[in-house]
Amino acid sequence: MESSQAIYKALKDNNINFIVSVPCINLAKVLEMIEHDEEIKHIPATREEEGFGIAAGAYMAGENTAILMQNSGLGNSINVIASLYKLYRIPILMIISHRGTHGEFITAQIPMGEATPLILEALNIPYHVPSTPEEAYNDIKSAWKVAKAKKHPTAILLEVSFW
């Protein structure tokens, strides 16, 4: 399985039908696949925090939601995750392109890259770091299962070397 295909197939097989996004180059292929999928409503947001707000409204109408974003967007969304998602117990699957990890070519990505797992830990968000497409497929399945059961965000970190 190819890496982008594995992510897309996992989203489909877990009935994720509402996706918000702010792009990352590493997510470009997945974003293209979901954009052309008529069963998935895809709403690009101007900022990740806004995307979380939109997805929360969709969850209230019963949709299965995910956000696709770069890890920089996690920094933009800390308050909405805590004071909307955790407060009201709202699930969401966070598919995060984890820049600033091994193989990164842009120095500016490194500080946020290093902070990312620590931010997830501070927010008590369970996360997986798959290294192969097969692992990613299985991790998404279990992360979504936990998100729904615990009514809580869960995350998948896709490092630079994953792609």
Partner 1 sequence: MERIEAIKTIIKQLDDELIICNLGFPSRELYSIKDSPRHFYMLGSMGMASSIGLGLALTQKRKVIVFEGDGSLLMNLGSLVTIYSQSPKNLILIILDNGCYATTGSQCTYALKVDLGELAKGIGFKKIFKFEKPHEINMRPILEDEGPIIVHVKVEPGNADVPIIDLNPEEIISRFMKIVSSGK
Q: Which residues of this chain interact with partner 1, rule CB under 8 A?
A: 18, 41, 43-47, 49-63, 79-80, 82-84, 87-90
User: What's the min distance (Å) between Cβ of 92 and partner 1?
Assistant: 11
124: Cβ–Cβ under 8 A, 6 or more apart, which residues? Answer: 86
Decide whether 87 or 107 has the Cβ nearer to partner 1: 87
In DSSP terms, 70 is beta-bridged to 97
Q: How many CA atoms lie within 13 A of 104 on its CB side?
A: 17
User: What's the min distance (Å) between Cβ of 76 and partner 1?
Assistant: 11
118: Cβ–Cβ under 8 A, 6 or more apart, which residues? Answer: none
Decide whether 45 or 143 has the Cβ nearer to partner 1: 45
User: What's the min distance (Å) between Cβ of 50 and partner 1?
Assistant: 5
